[in-house]
C-alpha cells in the first residue's frame, strides 16, 4: 500500500480548530474576575470579634448585666465593665483595652460608693506584655507613675 503526502486545502472548520488551539491565555481569559470578599485576615478578625462578643453576651446574661465585655477586633479594642451594688454599697470597674505591638494597654476607672459617699479612682495607664526569664513564662505589667501630656 502506498500513501502519498499531498497538501490538503484548509477548510473553514480546520481553520477554526487551529485558531482556537493557538489562543494564548491573555486572549482566552483577558482578566481574572475580581474577588470582592474580605481578605482572610479580616474574616479571622470578624470571627474573633463575634466570638468575643458572644462570650461577653453570655457573661452579661449569667451575671444579670453586672459583668459586660465588648470586643472590637477591627479597632483592636475591648471594654470590660463589672460591678453592682445597692444604696449602701456599690462598686463599678470600667476598663478600656487597646491591643497593639504585642502588648495590651489598659485604662481603668474604679467607682466605690459607701453609704452615699462616692469615691472615684482613675488608675494610671498600664501596659501588659508577655515575657520570659530563664525559660519561665511571665506577664509584665508596666504602670506609668508620671504621665506627660502635650
3-state DSSP of 12-62: HHHHHHHHHHCCCHHHHCCCCCCCCCCCHHHHHHHHHHHHHHHHHHHHHHH
Average pLDDT over residues 79-98: 93
- Smallest CA-to-CA distance from 91 within 128, 69, 121, 64 is with 121
Q: pLDDT above 90 covers what percent of the chain?
A: 54
What's the Rg (C-alpha) of the chain? 33
pLDDT at 122 over 70: yes
Higher pLDDT, 11 or 21: 21
pTM of the model: 0.66
User: 129-150 b/e with 16+ CB inside 10 Å = b?
Assistant: eeeeeeeeeeeeeeeeeeeeee
Measured CA to CA, the distance from residue 122 to residue 57 in angstroms comes to: 26
Does residue 95 register a pLDDT over 70?
A: yes
Extents of the domains making up the chain: 40-143
Confidence of residue 58 (pLDDT cuts 50, 70, 90): very high
Amino acid at each position: 500500500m502506498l500513501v502519498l503526502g499531498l497538501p490538503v486545502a484548509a477548510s473553514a472548520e480546520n481553520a477554526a480548530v487551529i485558531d482556537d488551539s493557538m489562543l494564548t491565555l491573555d486572549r482566552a481569559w483577558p482578566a481574572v474576575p475580581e474577588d470582592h470578599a474580605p481578605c482572610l485576615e479580616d474574616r479571622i478578625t470578624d470571627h474573633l470579634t463575634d466570638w468575643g462578643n458572644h462570650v461577653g453576651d453570655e457573661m452579661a446574661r449569667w451575671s444579670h448585666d453586672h459583668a459586660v465585655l465588648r470586643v472590637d477586633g477591627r479597632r483592636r479594642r475591648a471594654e470590660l465593665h463589672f460591678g453592682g451594688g445597692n444604696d449602701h454599697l456599690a462598686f463599678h470597674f470600667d476598663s478600656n483595652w487597646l491591643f497593639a505591638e504585642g502588648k495590651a494597654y489598659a485604662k481603668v476607672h474604679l467607682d466605690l460608693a459607701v453609704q452615699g459617699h462616692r469615691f472615684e479612682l482613675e488608675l494610671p495607664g498600664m501596659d501588659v506584655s508577655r515575657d520570659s526569664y530563664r525559660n519561665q513564662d511571665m506577664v509584665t505589667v508596666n504602670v506609668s507613675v508620671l504621665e506627660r501630656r502635650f
